[in-house]
Amino acid sequence: MKLIFVTGGVVSSLGKGIVTASLASLLCSRGVKLKIRKLDPYLNVDPGTMSPYQHGEVYVTDDGYETDLDLGHYERFTDITCSKNDSISSGKIYSTILAKERRGEYLGSTVQVIPHVTEEIKKSITKSSHKDDVVICEIGGTVGDIESLPFLEAIRQFKNESQFDTLLIHLTLLPYIETSGEVKTKPTQHSVKELLNSGIQPDVIVCRSNQKISKEEIQKISLFCNVPSNAVIPSYDVNSIYQVPQLLSKSKLDDLVIKKLKIKPIKAKNLTVWENFEILESKTKEDLKIFIIGKYVHLKDSYKSLYEAIYHAGIHNQANVMIKWIDSETINKKNVNELLKSASGILIPGGFGNRGIPGKLEAIKFARENNVPFLGICLGMQLTIIEYVRNVIRLKNSGSSEFGKYKNNIISLMTEWNLKNKKIKRSKENDLGATMRLGAYPCFIKKNSLASKIYRKKMISERHRHRYEVNPKFKSIIEKGDLIFSGFSKDKKLLEIVENKNHKWFLAVQYHPELKSKPFKPHPIFLSFIKNSLAHKNV
């Protein structure tokens, strides 16, 4: 088995995920079978309960695992579908070890970082990978962080074991000092020394820089970091992350990896999909304003997949989409018209909790009454229904049990549907754990609906991440007006898609379509949303 490890040094957020995904894409284009895995040093079991402001979005796999957003990059750049085995955190490792210890599986041994933690890390890296030629592992955080040490030790052990061919790629920053007009290599040298302190010599160094790196600087890095000069790979800033595969290909990173690991590619490299996408990027004709009304808008990574899905659809519609992020807490009845009047399309994304809900409801009402193309996702769908029931159907004391006690809980936990006034006490912990619907589920689409025109399929599969559902007993009440349900589970108890039949383009879905969008295969919902937003702009 061939193992590739990608580490980062100097500072975080250099783009290890993009480099990892780009390399995977280049190898996949040659017919190499591979898996991509993310190793995160934090002690959370997964990022599901972490604040989006600390960790960015939670990416969900088909098999229902909450993972790091980098797995989204892996799937967008390749045709690989990631699974729960591809997200490995320190918390997950330690949980497994402690469970084994309680069961007595260590036969009285003192459980230690070496060998027990490192062995569990190694097992996780190679798990279910016997059919693959290569496993690529991105190590989260920055070399030198104390949390990363067990992962680096596991890598050191892999490099010493003869049954594994391993290669380590280290991504660093070459800062440009404007006052002296110099690109500095010293931070890279220190970063490599940190790796050497862990007993690891990098095989390839990828240097991130916003300035051209001279041959002299490459030779200096080669000399001081003990790597060949052809293994010092420049990685310059580009206009789009989707240009990185071609950038790394020009630097011959994939050729170097194939040669060093003695990989036998099945076919010649083919970058046609990336070349075609770059051509599309250069053909954008007009600007388009899409307003996203969210709760975590101060950190764009909180909605990373959403941003990328809109970008993909914009490029394929030859539109330069300009997203205006609006904090829903800043919207009220008095300012909503002024804030949203220039929107060509309005989108309400997913989220949890009651903060900012009134502003989102005002934005939905504005889109509905002003015939502005509208897309609601997850919580956005639930609020779409609540807004309509309150303002059009005028059902009194209606809302979601997530936000308070209502006589008519239009949105509620499935466990609440059949309570019938029984006073059943459930802890918040049990609700959070027992009612979350995660991963891919089938959805059946109603004929002659907007959803059927978008998908052109009778049945679809989309990924979910939520715990509250539309209570089906209110379906007939809701459909008395313009809203109709056009997507549902096979037994029709779970309502998945709602649309306004008398609106220009008004759709809301319970799932997260953004998780399946790719640059060379944009999601049909976003394609249609952007297309109709362009039409609305040009009326």
Provide the 8-state DSSP code for 518. Answer: B
For the question of residue 298 being annotated catalytic, the response is: no
Give DSSP secondary structure letters for 520-535: TB--HHHHHHHHHHHH
Catalytic-role residue among 73, 120, 514, 523: 514
**Cα separation of 37 and 40, whole Å?**
10
Instruction: Say which of 378, 443, 496, 536 is annotated catalytic.
Output: 378
Among residues 235, 236, 228, the alpha carbon closest in space to that of 202 is found at 228
What phi and psi values does residue 380 have, to the nearest 5 degrees? -60, -35
Q: Identify the H or E element spanning 90.
A: helix 90-102
Report d(CA 255, CA 150) in Å as an integer: 30
Alpha carbon 200 to its chain's center: 30
Which tokens in the block code for residue 528? Answer: 């249609």
Query: Of the residues 55, 73, 512, 536, which is catalytic?
Result: 512
2 and 134 Cβ atoms separated by less than 8 Å = yes
Q: Which two tokens stand for residue 415?
A: 């466990």
Buried b (16+ CB within 10 A) or exposed e, 391-405: ebbebeebbbbbbee
Instruction: Provide the H-helix boundaries in 375-473.
Output: 379-388, 428-434, 450-455
Asked if the peptide bond before residue 115 counts as cis, ω within 30 degrees of 0, the response is yes
Query: CA-CA distance, 305 to 301, in Å (whole number)?
Result: 8
Helix axes 118-126, 90-102, angle to 10 degrees: 110
Dist. CA 222–CA 5, nearest whole Å: 19
The answer to whether 466 is a known catalytic residue is no
Tokens 């490792």 correspond to what residue?
93
- Specify the DSSP element, H or E, that contains 47: none
Nearest to 142 by CA among 51, 234, 16: 16
Between the CA of residue 524 and those of 77, 252, 273, 532, what are the distances in Å? 18, 35, 18, 12
Cross-strand pairs, 488 = 444, 495
Q: What is the DSSP letter of 422?
A: -
Residues in the chain: 539
Catalytic annotation present for 137: no
Q: Say how many C-beta atoms besides its own lie within 10 A of residue 53's C-beta.
A: 11
Name the residues annotated as catalytic. Answer: 378, 512, 514
